[in-house]
Structure 1
Amino acid sequence: METICALVAILAAFVGGHLVGRSITASPLLVIGGGLLVGVVAVVLFFMTTMTIGHLLPDIFEPWTLGVHLIFVGIVAPLGGALVAIVTHRRLVRADAARLPF
């Protein structure tokens, strides 16, 4: 159960990073910051969701594996969100540059 919640949080960070990369066109630094922010929000939501489920349904989560997954999500989600955001941004910039007539 912890693994499923962690994968959903990481997937949410990647999707959010993709949306940030498509929507922020000012600078790559802002895109990276937005991707990091989306990843941190995904980590916080993962923590809040697992704590809420753990309180409502006791003995559904193993505390040790939940901590390991929290550390993993805390590292992967922000970095992955930023990476997906900057890759999407660069791809979008290249596609826009290819459409220019000169």
Structure 2
Amino acid sequence: MASKFQSGVDDRHVDNTWRLLKKAIVDILNKNNSGLSFEELYRNAYTMVLHKYGEKLYDGLKEAVNAHLVELIRPEVLKAVDTNFLSKLIEFWNDHTVAM
């Protein structure tokens, strides 16, 4: 993972850093975060904000979480409507709060 931005950050470097962060976000949401360096992820996110790319980071996070909820969680909740809806909803909420 790239952890340092050069002065005069170019868009390609920002895009590469965002792709690494997005992959990590997806891994975290899927409970597959054992190989991640949270220090490095934090440093990359902090540096993006420091170099005025906070909006890109925020919008990307929002899109990644929304995609996870719509594509993976929503279908599971809908399957549970007639059986164990509340327990599934609580399970997914607990997973979400841990991931965030």
Which structure's residues are more often helix, by fraction?
1
TM-score interval, smaller chain: 0.3 to 0.5
TM-score, L = length of structure 2:
0.43
